[in-house]
Structure 1
Amino acid sequence: MNDRKSVYLFYKKTDELEEKVQRVRELGRKYGFTMADSPEEANIIAAFGGDGTFLQAVQKTRFRDDALYIGINDGSFGFYTDFSTEDLERLELAMQTNMVEVLRYPTLEVTIDGDKSFHCLNELSVRSNIIKTLVMDVYVDALHLETFRGDGLLVSSPTGSTAYNKSLGGSIVDPKLPSMQLTEMASLNNNQYRTLGSSLVLSKERELRLSIVQDGNDHPIIGIDNEAMGIRHSRELSIRVSDKSVKTLRMKDNLFYNKLKRSFL
């Protein structure tokens, strides 16, 4: 981090957290870091909170590919948060040694009706905004794979594979593998209707298209990481693994599989 010294602190201001953030500010000044007033002025963006706060920081700062993101949890570590306000010694070690490394997490690029585009770091979910089965035609590249009927579909990045995707029975994917995963939400399978019935991992070279069948259900809603957006009357979503990555900082002794074991085993 020797060439990065301008830091923007992203957090929800509470009296309890403000006191802890102030200690981190003082520690940063000790090693020559300056505090930026806006994320545009910074080359380091530090998010204080859990994984949800980290995702918000990335979304609100528009996936800065010229900045380094750091997650500092207010308690235990998470998948995106390698540091904690309860362990300033570890944070100080990161400031003064080469015990840290930069990871590049792949992101997803989503385009709605060939027009509006946005990025996701964790996941994209598509479901009905009313109590009704959602029908979507699923295409991989130009091939029609299936017609899905059910509650909805989830497309996750490798880092997002440990979140909602895992709860739906999807696979956990190594974050160093640039890919995306399609997972079903309560699919309808019987003698009349049939879906794949398992998650599907797609390589970076693939394009996934979800075409919403307008059968009276014109109120779909999508989840973007931890935010929701209505896409009323929209017909098609195109999803790719983006060339844009999110650069994060972690300690070398905190590998993805350390996080996996700590979280689930």
Structure 2
Amino acid sequence: MTDRKKVYLFYKKDEELEKKVQKVRELGRKYGYQQVERPEDANIIISFGNDGTFLQALQKTHFREDALYIGVNNGGMGFYTDFSIDDLERMELAMQSDNVEVLKYPTLEVTIDGLNSFHCINELSLRSNIIKTFVIDVYIDNLYFETFRGDGLLVATPTGSTAYNKSLGGAIVDPKLPSMQLTEMASVNNNQYRTLGSPLVLGKERELHLKIVQDGNDHPIVGIDNEAMGVRHNYDMKVKVSDRVVKTLRMKDNLFYHKVKRSFL
């Protein structure tokens, strides 16, 4: 048994799911994989659930660059879950064949008020917590770009472009393009106020700077992937494409565009 086969399992325990996970454990032992109790002791981290569970696994294990993340679906569809817990045959095929590859997904680094930094693989969302127009000054590489007025702004990764971003009319971006996309939420555009009014895709070398205009919005809602951050009185956010990537395992016959077609067409 090699050190490269230490596995940590991340999932919400319930009786029905536990029975299915036990079968995966037995399959893993057959091929020399060892389960560990602490994520820091593992080099393979497997989540069982949906995309939300996969995102939680990343956040709870701090986006480790030295670990391989694998998503196993427990029903439904998912962009991060390449395997189904009800298809042990496909999992076994992955363990014994070369029909798999490691993908490196880009992440965003978000710095709030110059103090707290976070990573996300899906998106950063910034919204008002009151029924009032949200005002944000937008800078790109220290250049003033626009003053946004509306419900909020969303900054998505390429892999996050098919989620919240798409529902806002954003573009779907190839995950192999290290970039970020700024998408508006119900912007106000009239003779007095004007924004770009369309999604904006920025390259890896760009830095996005969002300055919240304090006009009654002292407690904005900040979302990192699928979690609301417990931070208040935010005035300043800087976002850039991080050098940190998330390594995931997928079958070669399940490309990103297979997932897009399966999910939306």
Partner in structure 1 of residue 228 of structure 2: 228
Match of 1:52 in 2: 52
Q: Which runs of 5+ in 2 are unaligned?
A: none
Q: Check whether the contact 1:168–1:185 (CA below 8 A) recurs between aligned residues.
A: yes
Percentage of matched positions with identical amino acids: 77
Q: Does the CA-based 8 Å contact 2:77-2:263 persist in structure 1?
A: no
Alignment correspondent of 2:188 = 188
Corresponding position of 1:118: 118
CA RMSD after TM alignment:
1.0
2:213 counterpart residue number: 213
SS in 2 for 1:171: coil
The alpha carbon displacement at 1:231 in A equals 3.2
Cα distance, 1:52 vs. partner?
0.5
3-state SS in 1 of match to 2:165: helix
The aligned residue for residue 240 of structure 1 is 240
Question: Do the aligned partners of 1:6 and 1:43 also contact (CA within 8 Å) in 2?
Answer: yes
SS for the counterpart of 2:29 is: helix
Give the unaligned 5+ runs of structure 1: none
Q: How many angstroms apart in 1 are the aligned matches of 2:76 and 2:233? A: 42
CA-CA distance at 1:40 after TM superposition: 0.6
| 1:8 equivalent in alignment to 2:8 | yes
Cα distance in 2 for residues equivalent to 1:102 and 1:243:
17
Q: Which residue does the alignment assign to 1:103?
A: 103
Q: Indicate yes or no: 2:39 matched with 1:42.
A: no
Q: Find the aligned partners of 1:232 and 1:96 in 2 and give their Cα distance.
A: 49
d(CA) in 1 for partners of 2:78 and 2:29?
Answer: 26
1:64-143 maps to which residues of 2 (within 5 A)? 64-143=64-143
Q: Distance in 2 between matches of 1:108 and 1:55?
A: 13
Q: State TM-score, norm by structure 2.
A: 0.98
TM-score by length of 1: 0.98
Question: Could you tell me how far apart the structure 2 residues matched to 1:74 and 1:229 are?
Answer: 27
Query: Structure 1 CA distance, aligned partners of 2:116 and 2:17?
Result: 37
Aligned partners of 2:182 and 2:250: how far apart in 1?
28
Runs of 4 or more off by more than 3 Å in structure 1?
none
Paired residue secondary structure (2:218): coil
Question: 1:249 and 1:76 mapped to 2: Cα distance?
Answer: 19
